[in-house]
Every structure is written in C-alpha cells, then in structure tokens.
Chains A and B, each alone.
Chain A
Amino acid sequence: MTILTFTAAVAIVSFVAGLLGSLTGLGGGVVLVPLLTIFFHVDIRYAIGASLVSVIATSSGAAAAYVKEGFSNIRIGMFLEIATTVGALLGAYLATWIPTTAIATVFGIMLLYSAYISRRVRPPELQNLPPDPLATRLRLNGSFPDLDGERSYNVQHVPVGFSLMFGAGALSGLLGIGSGAVKVLAMDQAMRIPFKVSTTTSNFMIGVTAAASAGVYLSRGYVDPGLAMPVMLGVLAGSLIGSRILVKAETKSLRLVFSLVILVLGLQMLYKGLWGRI
C-alpha cells in the first residue's frame, strides 16, 4: 500500500469510528486499535499511540458543547483526575515494558467488557440519597438542570470510586483509549452520580487523562506522525459531525450493531493476544 492509499483508508475508517462512537455514545477510540492492528497490520504500539492522540482531540473538541448544557461537575472531574492521571502515567510506563501479546489480551477483555456494558439495561437511578460525609467535605455534591427544574444529587462511596478511577486511568494509559466503560462503573455504579452528569464529566476528564500518558508515548516513539495524522483528523471530524446530527430513531439499532462490532473485535484481540499472533 502506498502512503496515499493507506492515509486515505485509515482516515475513512477513523471517520466512521468517530461518527459511530459519538452517535452511540460508546466512544470511537475503543475500536480503533483493533481495526488498525487486525485490518491494517499496524504494530499495536503505533496503533495505541495514534488512538491516544485522537482521544484527546475528541474529548477537548466536544468539551465546549457539553459545558454549555451545564451538566458536568468540574469538582468531581478535577478530584477524580488526581486518580486518573497518576493511573495513566503508570499505565503508559507499564505499556513500554510488558509484551504486546499481554497488551492485546487486556485489550480483548476490555472490549468484551465494553460490549457487555453497552447492552446492559441500566438500573433506575436512585434519587435523594443521604449526603456522604467525605463527599460533603470534598464538596463533590451538586445539581443539574432536569426536566422539572434543578435536581441536586449526593455523591456516594468516594474511596471506591477514586480507586476505580485509578484503574480506569491505568487502562487508558496502557491501551490508549478513553476507557469510558470503567468510568461508567466508577461514577454511575459506585459513586451514584446521575447519568447526565457522569457522562459529560467523564468526557471532560478523558482528555486530561490521555494527556498524562501522551507525553510518555511521544517520547518513547509510539506516536508516528504518518499514522496519527489520519486517525486524529478522521476521528475528530467524525465525532464532531456525529454530535451535530440527531438520529434518535436509529440510535437503538446503531448501538446494537456497534456493540456487536466491539464484541467481534474483542474476540479477535483476545485470540491474537492469547495465541501470540500479534
């Protein structure tokens, strides 16, 4: 393949990944690394470097739109970023010395988990929880505009959430993804943050988390300009367009298709990792 065709093909695939990721809310980054390694035969380290860069672009690009809605909670974001950035730094260093087969295996498990999370029926949100003393001390509780006026919420189980976020950061640094699935676990399940607040706040945090490992990746030579360029521009364009078009009716089936793609890619990565075909 010449550089021209390779760049064009990677840009198109990245565009579609970014578009579907943003339409379904599942994030495009998680499919990029498997697509690049399986179909374009890119070494997983280059793929991770390029994916990480695109994660920063989508997170920062969407931030302005999210902020205006007034859902995100900057204090929750900043407090949890202590955990995610330290985790991301550790994950990035880990990625430089563990074998690529191990990275592929972890990636496969992560994809299967993401597919599972995307199909799971979300349990009803618990409202009017009692204030947690630690969350109160850290001033994490807040409110957001709901259908019937401002709705306030009390954050729960701060230490569990903080530890899970450390893990989410480490996975982000190790695999070059936003690791939204683990963040959902931490913020929705453990900390009981309302869904609207947790998704927008997590998007806000993803860019900062990725920046913490990007320095390590760049200095170790994982970020190739020829590969990162079409990935970053493609994903960015796809996700920006995806956030502008509304296809409410189609989202459900689109989500199903996309989670099936994630599932298949997850099995492939697991196979590649376990049988050393990477």
Chain B
Amino acid sequence: MTEGKTPLSQRSSARANPSRAWGDYQIEVVVGYLLRCGVILSGTIVFCGACIYIFRHAYEPADYRIFRGEPSDFRTIPGVLQSAWHGHGRGWIQLGLLFLIATPIARVAFAVAGFALERDRMYVAFTLIVLLVLLYSLIGSGLTF
C-alpha cells in the first residue's frame, strides 16, 4: 500500500503549493468551517428550545439529585423528532444536541471523501474505520429506534 507514495515533505508543500487542489491543508480548512457551521446551527436550535422551555417551566422546581433516566422522547431519534414536532422546548434542545453530535460525524465522512480525492487508500481505510465506530455507537446503542 505504501509503494509509489509521496515523500514526507509533501504535507508541508500541500500548504505552500496551491496547484495541488486537494491537499491535507485544504481538506482541513473546509472541514473546519463545516464544523463551525454545525456548531452554530445546533447552538441556535438549542437556544430556541431553551427559550420555549424557560418560558413554559420557569417556576417549576429543578431537581437532578436522583437519576431517573430520560423518557424515550429524549432518548431516541424518532422520539426527539416527534417531541420537537409538537413544539416542546426540550424536544428542540435535544434536536439541537443531535445536530451537535452529527457534526463531528460529518467531519469524518468528509475526511473519507477528501482522502479518496487524494487517492490515499490507507487513510480512506483509517477514516472509514472511525466512521463505522461512530455509526455503530449511534445505531448499536439503540438511538435510532
């Protein structure tokens, strides 16, 4: 897998040499902005949900002493979507948090594509492994149903 690969100094020249369209540096810049957009989006959704939640429940007691675990509305993706659809503040907060969790996953998916464009098979494989672990944690943990 290693034969015919670029020398070690290639990485630094990826930054200095703009003629190479898809160097590591370019991938990182795009990915960096992608991450920031994801955070802004999720932060906005969480904030909107917070306004609804505070407006409706401001004077109810807050108690987190005893762990009860969240109801299924806030534990699964369909539950969260349904709760948000009904205009519940906490549903919107949870939806924003789902977007937040999805942001780094999108970053890894993007890195797979970036390494594929660079025709770097070893790193396509590495990033795919990371992506599979992340997807497993979402699906295998029962979040999707």
A residues with a Cβ closer than 8 A to B are 1-7, 40-43, 45-46, 53, 56-57, 59-61, 63-68, 70, 72-75, 78-79, 81-82, 85-86, 88-89, 92, 131, 136-139, 141-144, 150, 152, 207-208, 210-216, 218-230, 232-233, 236
Contact = CB atoms under 8 A, between A and B. Distances in A.
Secondary structure at the B interface, as helix, strand, loop or mixed, is: helix
A53 B35 contact: no
Given A64-B36, A67-B31, A41 B65 contact: yes
Given A2-B58, A212-B134, A220 B141 contact: yes
Max chain A C-beta neighbours (<10 A), residue from B107, B136, B137: B137
A219 B32 contact: no
B134 A208 contact: yes
A236 B43 contact: yes
Grouping DSSP codes into helix (H, G, I), strand (E, B) and loop, the A interface class, with mixed when no group exceeds half, is: helix
In order of increasing CB-CB distance, the 6 nearest A-B pairs are A221-B69, A67-B32, A6-B62, A221-B70, A225-B93, A64-B32
B143 interface: yes
A190 B59 CA distance: 52
B116 interface: no
**Among the interface residues B27, B97, B127, which one has the most CB atoms of the partner chain A within 10 A?**
B97
Nearest to B5: A139
B56 to A, nearest CB: 9
A231 B143 CA distance: 22
21 contacts: A43-B67, A60-B35, A63-B36, A68-B32, A74-B28, A78-B111, A78-B130, A141-B8, A143-B9, A143-B12, A152-B8, A208-B107, A211-B103, A211-B104, A211-B137, A218-B98, A219-B75, A220-B141, A225-B93, A225-B97, A232-B100
Contacts, number: 228
A213 B104 CA distance: 12
Contacts of B122: 138-139
Contacts of A136: 8
A56 B103 contact: yes
A225 B24 contact: no
Given A64-B32, A75-B123, A57 B60 contact: no
Given A67-B32, A214-B101, A223 B70 contact: yes
B142 A219 contact: yes
Given A152-B12, A208-B107, A229 B28 contact: no
A42 B9 CA distance: 51
Interface string B66-86: 111111001110000000000
Given A63-B36, A218-B143, 7 more contacts: A6-B62, A68-B29, A82-B130, A85-B137, A215-B101, A220-B141, A225-B89
Contacts of A216: 137, 141
B19 interface: no
Interface in B113-135: 122-123, 126-127, 129-130, 133-134
